Amino acid sequence: MPRTLSARFRRAHRVVVPLAAAPLLLTAASGSLYSLLLERGIDAFWLLKLHTGTFGPINLQPYYSVLLGGLTLVVIASGLALLLTSGRARA
């Protein structure tokens, strides 16, 4: 049974977005939490390390900004593809 283009985009979107959003949410949460704790006089430097892409022995710092930018573009492209194909189906 052939799937429609819209159904394939929805399925891909459901798989791609959670994988792409996880590092974005981790970066946003660790940066916000670090700022809040710093205002209270608590220096949680480990949060800053997470925020910049250092995960214990795994150091992604040189690539983390590019990775986050690329993942943001993936989420946007996936959403736009889904939006455009569902708009065509309605018209």
Q: What's the rounded Cα separation, in Å, for the pair 23 and 34?
A: 16
The CA distances from residue 19 to 24, 60, 62, 67, 75, in Å, are 10, 17, 20, 12, 10
In 3D, which of 36, 28, 29, 34 has the Cα closest to residue 68? 28
pLDDT of residue 1: 42
Q: What's the rounded Cα separation, in Å, for the pair 26 and 29?
A: 5
pLDDT tens by residue, 38-89: 999 999 999 999 999 998 899 999 999 999 999 899 889 888 888 887 766 5
What does the radius of gyration of the chain's CA atoms come to, in whole angstroms? 18
